[in-house]
Structure 1
Amino acid sequence: MTLQQLAYFLALADVRSFTRAAERMGVAQPTLSRQLRALEEDLGAPLVNRAQGALTLTPAGEAVLPLARRMLADADSARAAVAEVVGLRRGRVRVGATPSLCIGVLADVLRVFHDRYPDLHIELSESGSQPLVSGLERGALDVAVLVVPQQGLDVSLEVTPLLRERLSVASPRSEPAPSSRGTLTVTELSRRPLVMFRRGYDLREVTLRAYADAGVEPRFAVEGGEMDAVLRLVETGTGVAVVPDLVFAGRPRLRRTALTPPLYRTVALARRVDIAPTPAVQAFRDTLLEFVAETERIGGSDTDVQVLHRPGPS
C-alpha cells in the first residue's frame, strides 16, 4: 500500500469516474486502474464496483475511505511540520553550558538567537563540563558550551574551540587593590581568604591545582558556592576568587587582578559526531560562532580573551 495508491482511490471516490479521476491526478487512466487494482490486491478485497453504470464503492471501499482520508491528511501534516522545521518556524535546541559561560557569553548569544528565530524553543541546562559531556553522550543535549579539560574530550564528540580565556583574581572595588603591581602570584593569593566554588566546578579544580603547584594551601572564607553566589560574596568583601575574565563584564563592583604566571582555559562548542544537527541546532551553532568571531563584543579592554574560531571565506 502506498500513499499514491490511496490518493488515486480518494480521487475515484470523489468523482466516481475512472476517466475524471485520472484527469484530476494527472495520469493516464490505465495507470490509475493498475494502481487501484494493486491496492485492492494488497487489501484483499475490491474497493469499487466496476459494473456498467454509476461507479459505487463496495463495503470494503466504504470502510477504507475515511481511513484513507485521514492517512493522506496526516501525510500532509507531516510534510508541513517538516517544512516548518526546515524553515526554522518550529524546532527545539537543547543547550548546555557551564555557569560562568552562561554569564559571560551565552546570555548574549541566546538573546541574538531568540531575536532571529523567535519560534524556536530553547532549553538551557547549566552544569559543570563533565555533566555536560555526559548529557551529550546520553542524547539529553544537542550542543554544549564547555571547558576543554587538559586531557581533551572524547573522540565521539565534535569539538570546535571558541575562546582561550585567562583566569584572574576577583576582589571588591570597595577595598584597596590586592596588589599595587596589578598582578598577583598564587603564593600572594594564598594569604587572602578565598571564596571557593562547589565540587564539580572546573574552576575549583584549576584553582586547587595552581595552589598545589605553588606549594601553598588555600585559606577558605566560604566553600561550596555557585557562580552567582561566589561573585556576590566577593562584591560584599567576604573574600577573593579565581574566575574567568568574561565574568567581569557588566560587574563594576568587581576588580580584576591578573594572576602570574597566567592561568588559561579553553572554551569550546561540543556535539555528538554521530548525530546530524537539525536545522535549529545548526542555526544556533552558526549564531554562536558568528557572535564569538566579533572580538569587540567579547569581554572588554581590561580582559584577556583570545578568539580561537574564525569563519572561513564566504
Structure 2
Amino acid sequence: MTLQQLAYFVAVADVRSFTRAAESLGVAQPTLSRQLRALEDELGAPLVDRGSRDGPVLTPAGEAVLPLARRMLADSESARTAVAEIVGLRGGRVRVGATPSLCIGVLADVLRVFHEKYPDVRLELVESGSQPLVRSLVRGELDVALVIVPPPGIDPALHTMPVLRERLSVASPTSDRAPSSRGSMTVLELSRRSLVVPRQGYDLREATLKAYADAGVTPRFAVEGGEMDAVLRLVEAGTGVAVVPDLVFAGRPRLRRTVLTPPLYRTVALARRADLTPTHAVRAFRDTLLSFLAVLSAGDGFPGDVQVLRRPDSSAPRGAEPVE
C-alpha cells in the first residue's frame, strides 16, 4: 500500500469518475485504474463498484477505508510541512477555519497581523459553520479552526482551547426606533418583531431558534437564509432584527445593540486535531491570536460583552507548546 494509491482512491471517491480523477491528478486513466486494483488486491476486497450506471460507487469496504485514507494523506502532508519548516525549505502553511461571524468580528485583523509578522507563511482560510469545520479538522483538511463549542462539547478527536466568551444580542437598525426603551428585551418581546436569521448550518441560527423554543414562542420570520454579511445588511436596511454575537457590532454604526434577558452566551474555541503535534506555523498563529485578543481586551477594542478566556503564556519558551 502506498500513499499514491490512497490518493488515487480518494480522488475517485471525491469525483465519482475515473476519467476526472485521473485528470485532476495529472496521470493517465489506465495508470490510476491499475494502481487502484493493486490497492484492492493488497487489502483483499474491492473498494469501488465499477458496474454502477451512475459511475464508480464505493463498496462497504471503500466507505470504511475512505476516512482512514484521508487522515493518512493529511498526516503525510503535515509531516512534509513540519520537516520543510525545520530545514528551512519554506515558511510553512496554516489552513485556518472560522465561522462567518468570527471572520467578520476578529479573524480578519488576526490574519493581517500574522501576515505582517510572518509574510512567508502561506495562509488558507475556510469560512463555514462549526460542524463542517469540525469535520474538516478531523479529516485533516484544516490545521486549526475557530469554532463554537456547544455544551456537550465537540468531536473527541479534537483538542479545543476556549479563547472567547461572547454575548448574543439583538441587532436593529439605528434608523428605526429602539426596540426597547430599557436597552434590553426578553425573547417574548423579541418574538413580536420580524426576524432575520442566517441559513441552516449556522450555529447562530440554532441558538436563536432554541431560545425561542425555550421561551415557548414562535418566531416571525422576515427573511431566512443567507450569510452573516447579508443578515447584517438586511437589518441595517430595516428588514427586521437579528440575534447576533456582540463582536459583529464593531465598525457598524448603522446597527443598534439591545441585550437579551436572560442573557445568551456562546463560547469560542481554537480547535485542532488532538493526535497531531502543531507545526511551528500553527503555533505562531495561535500565539498571534492570543496576543491580539489580549491587546484588544486591555483597551476598548471589544464591543458589547466579550470576555477573553485564554491569555498568552509569556513564561513558555519561544515556539514551545504551552500546557493546555
TM-score by length of 1: 0.71
In the alignment, is the contact (CA less than 8 A) between 1:172 and 1:253 conserved in 2? yes
Counterparts of 2:253 and 2:194 in 1: how far apart (Å)? 21
SS of the residue 2:162 aligns to? strand
Q: Using the alignment, how far apart are the partners of 1:313 and 1:282 within structure 2?
A: 14
Match of 1:172 in 2: 173
* 1:283 equivalent in alignment to 2:304: no
Aligned twin of 1:221: 222
Amino acid at match of 1:101: L
The question of whether the paired residues in 1 share the 8 Å contact of 2:85 and 2:280 is answered with no
Cα pair 1:88 1:117 within 8 Å, conserved: no
Equivalent in the alignment of 1:202: 203
Map 1:227-266 → 2, pairs under 5 A: 227-266=228-267
Match of 2:123 in 1: 122
1:132 aligns with 2:133: yes
Residue 272 (structure 1) aligns with:
273
Shift of the alpha carbon at 1:88? Answer: 9.2
What residue ranges of structure 2 are gaps of 5+ in the alignment? 1-79, 316-324
Q: CA deviation at 1:297?
A: 5.6
Matches within 5 A, 1:133-148: 133-148=134-149
Shift of 1:311: 2.7
The 5 Å alignment of 1:66-85 reads: 82=83
Cα deviation code 1:210-267 (max 9, x no counterpart): 0011110000000011100000000000000000000000111100000000000000
Distance 1:254 1:162 in 2: 26
Letter in 1 for 2:164: L
Q: How does 1:52-91 map to 2 (within 5 A)?
A: 82=83, 90-91=91-92
Bigger Rg, structure 1 or 2: 1
Identity of aligned residues (%): 76
- Partner of residue 318, structure 2: none
Match of 2:190 in 1: 189
One-letter amino acid of the structure 1 residue matched with residue 206 of structure 2 = E
Q: State the SS of the aligned residue for 1:206.
A: helix
SS at match of 1:200: coil
**Compared with structure 1, are the counterparts of its residues 299 and 233 closer, same or farther at alpha carbon in structure 2 (3 Å cutoff)?**
farther
Which secondary structure does the structure 2 equivalent of 1:225 belong to?
coil
Unaligned runs of 5+ in 1: 1-78
Q: Distance in 2 between matches of 1:86 and 1:289?
A: 27
Cα drift, residue 292 of structure 1: 1.6
Report the Cα offset of residue 296 of structure 1: 3.5
Following the alignment from structure 2 to structure 1, what is the Cα–Cα distance between the partners of residues 229 and 242?
12
Which SS does the other structure have where 2:259 is aligned? strand
Greater Cα offset, 83-92 or 174-183: 83-92
Q: State the 1:85 CA deviation.
A: 5.2
User: Matched residue of 2:275: which SS?
Assistant: coil
Deviates more, 1:217-226 or 1:150-159: 150-159
Task: Give 1:313 shift.
Answer: 4.7
Q: Is the 8 A contact 1:298 1:305 kept in 2?
A: no
2:95 corresponding residue in structure 1: 94
Distance (whole Å) between structure 1 residues aligned to residue 262 and residue 159 of structure 2: 31
SS at match of 1:112: helix
SS at 1:181 equivalent: coil
Relative distance call for 1:209 and 1:88 in structure 2 (3 A) is farther
> Within the alignment, does 1:113 sit opposite 2:134 as a pair?
no
- Offset of residue 154 of structure 1: 2.0
Give the secondary structure class of the aligned counterpart of 2:221.
Answer: strand
User: 2:191, 2:219 within 8 Å by CA — same for their partners in 1?
Assistant: yes
Counterpart for residue 161 of structure 1 = 162
8 Å contact 1:85–1:91 — kept in the other structure? no
Shift, 1:83, TM fit: 6.3
Aligned residues between the structures: 234
Letter in 2 for 1:172: P
What secondary structure, in the 3-state scheme, does the structure 1 residue paired with 2:225 have? strand
Residue of structure 1 equivalent to 2:74: none
RMSD: 1.9
Aligned to 1:67: none
Contact 1:170 1:241 in 2 (8 A): yes
- Go from structure 1 to structure 2 and tell me whether the alpha carbon gap of 1:208 and 1:86 turns closer, same or farther (over 3 Å shift): farther
Ranges of 4+ aligned residues in structure 1 off by more than 6 Å: none
Matched to 1:135, the amino acid is: S
1:158 Cα deviation after fit: 1.0
